[in-house]
Each structure stands twice: as structure tokens, then as C-alpha cells.
Structure 1
Amino acid sequence: MEPPHETLNEAEARFRDGDYAGAGAIFHRAWDAGNPQAGVRYACCLRLAGFPRLALRVCRQLAQQAPTDLAIRAELAWNLFDLHLRPLAARRDLAAMQHTASEILAIGAGPAIVETVLAVMEAAAACGDWAAVEAWGERLRPAELDDRPPPPDNQPGAATDAPRLRWYRLKARALLMLNQWSRARRLALEAQAIYPQRSTFPRLAAQALAGQGNLLDARVEVQALCARWPFDWSLCMDQARLAQQLGYGEEAARLACRAALLPGEESQKTALFALLADICASQGEFFLAACHVALARSWHTRQQHAYPAGLKKLEGRLRAALASAGQSFPDVTLEGIPTLRQRCFNYWQATAKIDN
């Protein structure tokens, strides 16, 4: 015999208040009385109360009785996500994540499926596997994704942006990195229409235009973006890169140094440091270029990111050039980083010519 409806209402009220133990006890009794949906809610309470293994056991038991029930499959997917996929994401074990995610998609349903795919896309992006980002992105349709930010999650690294926004950002970036310029630009412009207050998507669209060889048109677009967001260092970096590609070396150096001085985490500026290294090398300033390479490499090392092949190749060229000139490569030890960073900072200030 099922408990009265009022009792289940009390359980839902306790659940909303975060009393997962109290709500779970009522849902458990209702499940014992023959209400399978109360069993799903009981499993949810167990998961949120910090007992994911027990919650998974309950879900598997429910799934045996009703394998096609969407509510059961949705809760099962969340349990598998929290118990198995989230720890793999923390370790950036992309191969294991893809295997586990495939299993979740095969038996799960609901919002956890979206989070599973996005988690794999984000891990693949962090590993630089853009082909995997693009392939996994094909499993979702942006029109079907929630455009509301997720509820607060105390787990480390939990997403704060809406699923649709995350998908567009990852997918467009992947297409760009795979040199699929026309697809990248089309998708970035589509996202720009949805998120007009964000600089990310018009920036990606301009980068795709530059990738197609339309450097002058891309430069016009980026200049307009810099006028709208004058303190965005990444847009200033793009402007510097286009100036360098067009042969305006002095302007490229000034803009790149300005970007380095604009507010922003240095850990995010490794591509800027690589650009500055290339600019300095093109001007024959090989030691200064090497200082920027060393600065970029130190951040990649500290963040445990793969060392980009282009940066590694540039470092090899600079080591050879310095050796030919009888100079040594800058000290890249922890003790040497502050000195070379100060050397770079002095160059940025002298070159940026920012009016005080």
C-alpha cells in the first residue's frame, strides 16, 4: 500500500530544502510500498547525500524492473557520471573518459547525457585533441540544449555556463583548430546572433575569416571588436597577430605588448607569449624571443598541458640561433623565471607606449 500523497509532498519539500536524509527515508518507504518512481527519488537522495555507490545499486535494481523507464535511466546516468566519469575528468584521462561516456550514453537518458558529452569535449579540448572535440560535439544538437546556467555544484571544476553556450564555444573552437574555416565561421556567427554581448564568437568568426586568407577583412572586424571591448587582451593579441601576418612588424610588437599588459591571468596568455617570441625573433631579438618562449613553456609545465609543437619548434630555432651567436638560452628553472619575466615586462612597457 502506497503512502498518502501528502507524505510524498512532504518528501519533496524536504528534498527542496536539502534534507536528503529525511526525504530519502520517506521515498524509501514509498518504494517499499510499491512506488517505483519513489525509488528513483530515493536514489537521487542517496546520490546527493554523498552515497553514490548505494544510489547506483538502487538504480540498477530499478533498471532491471523497468529498463526503458526514462526517469530511471536519467538517474542512472547521473550516478554513473558522478561515480565514474567525474573522477576521470579530474585526472584528464581522455581515453577512459570516452569509453565510460559511451557506456553512459548507451544506457542513460536525460540531462546527464548532455553533461557527459560536454565533459568529454572539455577534456579533449584541454588535451588538444580537437578531432575528438568535434566528433563528440556531433552527438548533441544546440537547439535541444538548455540555455540556462546549471544550479550551483560544489564539485571542483563544475560548469557555470549554460550547456548550449558551452557547446557552441567548444564546437566552434574545434572547427577552427581543425582548419575547417567556413564551418567554423558559420557556427561562430550563428552563436554570435544568440549571444551578442559576448566577444568570444565574433572573435572566432574573425579568426576563421583570417584562416580563409581574408586578412584585411579580418583585421577590420577585429579592430571593431577592440573598439567595443578595449580591455580584452585576447582581441588585442588577435590584432597583433594580423598585423604581423600583414607585415606590420612595429605595430604587431606594440599591440602584442599592450595585450601582455592588459588585465588577464598570465596562465591564459601562453599563446600571446608565443606570438611575442615570434615577433621578437623576426626583429632579430633572439634572446628576448627566447625569454618569451621560456615564459610560455613554464606556464604549460605548471598547468600540466602538452607543449605545443609550434612553440617547441620555435624554441629549437632560437637555441640554434643563440648558440651560433655564442649566447646561452635563458634560465628556465624556478629560480630563473622571475628574472626573465621582468626582462619581458620591461620590454612590454617600453614597446606598448600606453598613455598614462
Structure 2
Amino acid sequence: MPVKSNSQYSLRLNTYFDGKGRVFPLLSLIILAVFTPLAIKNLIIGEHALGTLILIFVCAFIADAHALIKGRALPIHEHIIATLAISCVALSLFTLGAGTIFWVFPVSIIISFAFPLATSILFNCALLLTATTYVFLNYDMADALRFFFAYLLTACSVHLLLKHIDALHTLLKEESSKDALTGALNRRQLNLFLKDALANKVHYHYDSTLIMIDVDHFKQINDVYGHAKGDEVLINLVSDIREQIRETDLLFRVGGEEFVVLLPNTDLKTAQKVAQKLRANIKSLALLDNQTITVSLGLCASADDLTQTKWMNCADKALYAAKQRGRDRVCQYNLHHNRIEDVAA
């Protein structure tokens, strides 16, 4: 099976930080520093059930936080963590009394920020039901209603804020991964996908092939027609390339008029056909009035002993050879014989 990204976990904060931020170590320290003394205190005063439950919650949270920091799957499902947190609050209310009602608010906020929207709404409703039941049984009606509406306002405000943050995060992530002009993926994303492709080659023997594409005489297009027209050519070029490749293939812009297509699970022979198809189709397009636009292409397939840098360099050498040998052609880097070869049309 192909290598999967380690950042694809369900926790909201891990989505924001891709498991690399400092949020989980810091949050873990806060949980440890605040709740461990509470657990010990309850064990000392004879509230063994509550003290034990709080310790279980702390250990479970720390276990998941450690797994996320290490880029591993969650050992304990987030629903169990949220259930433990609510159970701690509920048991505190019904054993220690009204003085623990204030814990409802920080626990609600932690659940909202830590878990996905659907999970946080579900468990906030459960927490609201538990706490409201207690206050209506132990407070007068006016105070109970004040608590109910204060909690409801807090939870709704936090969720509306988080919904807005989610939208901004999605937009920021998209903008940081794509080229602003063409919408192709950027160089940073290329490095990530190259790493996965090479790992798939080593571990699962899945071939992948790079196609490096450069627009021939692009400087002349900018000089004669202007940069706005040149940008239009690039935008239309990217649109056409996307139509010619599979949904699983990836297109990156790595320079002014230079692009890379990564063909996952594709051997060199198949990539040769794809490259020639791209070359011929681009040449037939009316990308520029009264002038044919051509591209040169360089191929290089993956290998067990390749690094990302060497793989890119080999594809770049093949592209350079295609330029030197007359442009509007495809060349490939033969790793077995350490030489550049023409690819027949």
C-alpha cells in the first residue's frame, strides 16, 4: 500500500498544526499540572472513584498527545477521552457539590478546541445536559436558568469562532500549497510528494516517474506580447495539462515557465507515452495568436537508491538535453546506463 501522511488525524488541533506544533506538549503539561493534583487530593480525602477517574483521564490524554507528537495513530479514540472528561465533571458535581460547577466551562472549551466539530457539539450537549440537570436539582430556578444560558452562549460562541477559524485554516492551507497564478501545486508540495513516491518505491516497489516540462522560447513571448499575455499562456497551459493527465497525477510549478508532472505508480514506458501525448497536444493548441507554442520535456523514473535531489537533477538534465537537441522533444535519463536518451514520438 502507498505511504500515507502521518498528519491525517481527526483531532482539530492536530489538523491546524499537522502534529508538529507545540500545542500538544503545552496542553499536556497543563492537563498534567492541573488535574494530577486534583486527582491526588480526591484520593487523599477519600473520593477514590473520582480521583481514579481523573488519573485515567490524564493518562489517556497524555497517551494520545504523545502519539500525535510522534506522528502515530491515536491509541485511544477521541470519543473515549471526551467521555472521560465529562464523567470527571459529572462525578465531581454529584459528589463534591456546587463548588465544582465552574469546571464545566474550561472542560467545554477544551473539548471544543481539541475535537472535530461534530464530536465537540455532541459532547458539549452531553456536558450541558449533565450540568443543567445538577443545577436545576440544587439551585433555585433563576440561578439555574442563568447557568443554562451562560453555558449555551459560551458553547455557541466558541463553535462559531472555531467554524470561522476552520474556514480560514482551509483557505490558508490551500494558498500555501498552490501557485497563485496557475493553481498548480508549488515547490514545497513537490518535495513532500517526492518523498512519499520514493518511499513507495523502496517499501512497496511502486514505480513513479517525473516529467519536467519547460515552455520553449518563453522569454520571447514575454518580450513580444507582454507579461500579461505570458501569464495567460501559462494559465491555459496548466489547464490543458490537467485535462491530459489522470486525477491521481500531480502537477507542480517549479519555476517561471517550468513545471513538473509526477506520475505515481507509473513505469517509464507508460510515462513516455504520456509525455509525447502532452508534447503533441500542447503544440496543437492555440495558446498564442499566430504562433505555435511548444514545450521540451525530460523524464526520469524512480529507483531504490534515489534521493529527491538526484531525481530532480536527473529529470532536469534530460530536459536540458531536450532543449539542446532542438526543443519540442522528449528526452529521458536512463539511470541504469547513466545516460540521456531521446524518446521517439
Compute the TM-score of the two structures, normalised by the length of structure 1: 0.31
Compute the TM-score of the two structures, normalised by the length of structure 2: 0.32
Which protein has the bigger helix share? 1
